[in-house]
Structure 1
Amino acid sequence: MIKRISVIIIVLSVIGIASFLYWRAVPKAEDYRGDNIYEVNTFEYNRGWGYQISKNGKVIIYQPCIPCIEGDKSFPNEILAENTGNLVLSKIKNHENPSLTIEEVNKILMVNEK
């Protein structure tokens, strides 16, 4: 009898853990509804500018420095930071990897020099 109760407890525990893990892994409905509100905000940082991207009011990307550039170099002006943030956001909305390549960063920086 004790062995049977132990087996039942183990089986129920495994089912409970599996259910919990499944519940945590499955994307929530709001991820599919299109109700997500994204926002790019700029901020001053280290005598320059950075950007952050928020989804439904929660910061999902905080980028105080120019990506792909060595060191702690911030964007030289607010427009560059905002343009870079908008590029990353467009990648997110297109379900692409939001990482930027050195070529993309150089292109944004060159536009500023013209």
Structure 2
Amino acid sequence: MKMKISKKKAYVIALLAIVGITAGIYTRHYYRQHEMLKVEIKPFKTGNGWGYNVMVDKKIYIHQETIPAFAGNQSFKSEEDAIKTGNLVIKKMIAGNLLPALSAEEVMGLGIRPTLSAH
């Protein structure tokens, strides 16, 4: 048995379907956009150099005053070195390591060398 649908009803059904799909896509996009966290590096001056904070949604997530992976309390020589190291930490966080540790090789790979030798 064939059902007959008037053109007007067909247009209304099509329009409702389009509105429903569009609303669903918008809602999904809206919630995904609001699930994203803003992560950034904020360098800061220390007593003898530079350090950095990894900020997540404007809150300090990691506070790093010294060069990681090396003995001693050595600050970064420059703001640029602190930022480069912080950016590597963020890359590791994005890769799924929420508390990333850096090796001496990774830090030296950024061109950063400690000034003091470990005893």
- TM-score, with normalisation over the residues of structure 2? 0.61
**Residues 59 and 99 of structure 1, relative CA distance in 2, 3 Å threshold:** same
Matched residue pairs, number? 80
Root mean square deviation of aligned Cα? 1.9
Counterparts of 2:45 and 2:77, CA distance in 1: 10
Counterparts of 2:65 and 2:94, CA distance in 1: 21
- TM-score, with normalisation over the residues of structure 1? 0.64
Establish whether residue 100 from structure 1 lines up as the match of residue 102 from structure 2.
yes
Which letter does structure 2 place at the counterpart of 1:78? E
Displacement of 1:58 after TM fit?
A: 1.1
Deviations, residues 32-78 of structure 1 (Å, cap 9, x unaligned): x6420101010001220001101111111000000011111000001
Overall identity of the aligned pairs, in %:
34
Establish whether residue 86 from structure 1 lines up as the match of residue 87 from structure 2.
yes
Partner of 1:13: none
- Runs of 4 or more, structure 1, over 2 Å off, are none
In our comparison, the structure showing a higher alpha carbon Rg is 2
Which letter does structure 1 place at the counterpart of 2:63? Y
Q: Name whichever structure is richer in helix by fraction.
A: 1
Counterparts of 1:56 and 1:64, CA distance in 2: 20
